[in-house]
Amino acid sequence: MFAREHIEYEALDLPDRMDLTDDQMLASAQRFYDLMRCRHTVRDYSDRPVARAVIEECIRTAGTAPSGANHQPWHFVAISDPAIKKQIREGAEEEERRFYEGGAGDEWLKALEPIGTNDNKPHLEDAPWLIVIFAQRWGEFDDGTRFKNYYVPESTGIASGFLLAALHHAGLVSLTHTPNPMKFLNPLLGRPDHEKPIMIVAVGHPSEDAKVPKVAKIKKPLDEILTIAE
Ligand code: IYR
């Protein structure tokens, strides 16, 4: 995507101005909050399929995220192939067994009790799509030489947030899953070694009897997460 030659700064008139009144802005902010507070992390999926075009649009949205030097240090692998999902489940459950059998440490396991998780991860097969997000430590010019990427965790974190919002906006549910270590995903998905898998996002529709942990719906009030200096 990038040419090796030095690219000069060139200014564009700001495209896509929103131009809302103050009242419209507040209403729009409230509508978005109302949408996002209805996003739930879901572990129970139905077998209802999701069209590939929907997944592609949501990943296109994730790709609009800001990033260090606009290097876009991310790659997404979207999987619906049941055989690959099965292998991902097996690899993840192997890591999770170590984690839940004590690798995590007592304090971490105690913190997870109200979430109700364990090493059984059927959603990695049940969800119609898994999206694996890879972070790229460095990129490649068109001629194959390397360039360094900057703010990689921040950039991929923002893109992941855009993805979760886009999936929810499209009417889907998702689960961010982070078995540790996730290096087994590189050979399985044919991604190079310098890419670090940062999370697996399970995507689909909730099953009829889908549950969420009660505790997950308790969000800190605004006065706890916000300090205003005006
Ligand atoms: N990756 C494990 C453990 C886990 C860790 C955190 I922090 C969570 O918020 C939830 C789970 C698992 O997926 O079970």
80 within a domain of the structure (yes/no): yes
**Distance between Cα 215 and ligand 1 center (Å):** 14
- For residue 81, being part of any structural domain is answered with yes
158 CB neighbour count, 10 Å cutoff = 16
pLDDT exceeds 70 at position 4: no
- Residue by residue, DSSP assigns 138-171 as EEE-TTS-EEE--SHHHHHHHHHHHHHHHHHHTT
We report the CATH number of the domain holding residue 68 as: 3.40.109.10
Indicate whether 20 belongs to any domain. Answer: no
Q: Considering the domain boundaries, does residue 3 fall inside one? A: no
Q: In the sheet where 195-204 sits, what is the strand order?
A: 74-79, 129-136, 195-204, 173-177
Residue 24 lies in a domain: no
User: Residue with the nearest Cα to atom 2 of ligand 1?
Assistant: 179
Would you say residue 18 lies in a domain? no
Ligand 1: distance of its center to the CA of 119 in Å? 9
If pLDDT is split at 50, 70 and 90, which confidence band does 181 have?
confident
Atom of ligand 1 nearest to the CA of 117: 14
To test the pocket of ligand 1, the residue of 110, 113, 117 to mutate (highest count of ligand atoms within 8 Å of its CB) is 117
CA dihedral defined by 99, 101, 105, 106, rounded to 10 degrees? 130
DSSP string for 25-72: HHHHHHHHHHHHTT--B---B-S----HHHHHHHHHHHTTS--GGG--
C-alpha count within 13 angstroms, C-beta hemisphere, residue 172: 26
pLDDT at 3 over 90: no
Q: Is the peptide bond before 181 cis (omega within 30 degrees of 0)?
A: yes
Is the pTM higher than 0.85? Answer: yes
Q: What mean pLDDT is predicted for residues 77-81?
A: 98
Would 120 be classed as within a structural domain? Answer: yes
Residues with CB under 6 A from ligand 1: 96, 99, 112, 115, 117, 177-179
**Centroid of ligand 1 to alpha carbon of 208 (angstroms):** 24
* Minimum-distance ligand 1 atom for the alpha carbon of 104: 3
- 72 in a domain, yes or no? yes
Q: Which domain holds residue 47?
A: 40-225
The model's pLDDT over 86-103, given as tens digits with 9 standing for 90+, comes to: 999 999 999 999 999 999
Cα of 125 vs centre of ligand 1, distance in Å, is 17
Residue 117 Cα to ligand 1 middle (Å): 7
pLDDT of residue 5: 65
Provide the number of structural domains found in the chain. 1
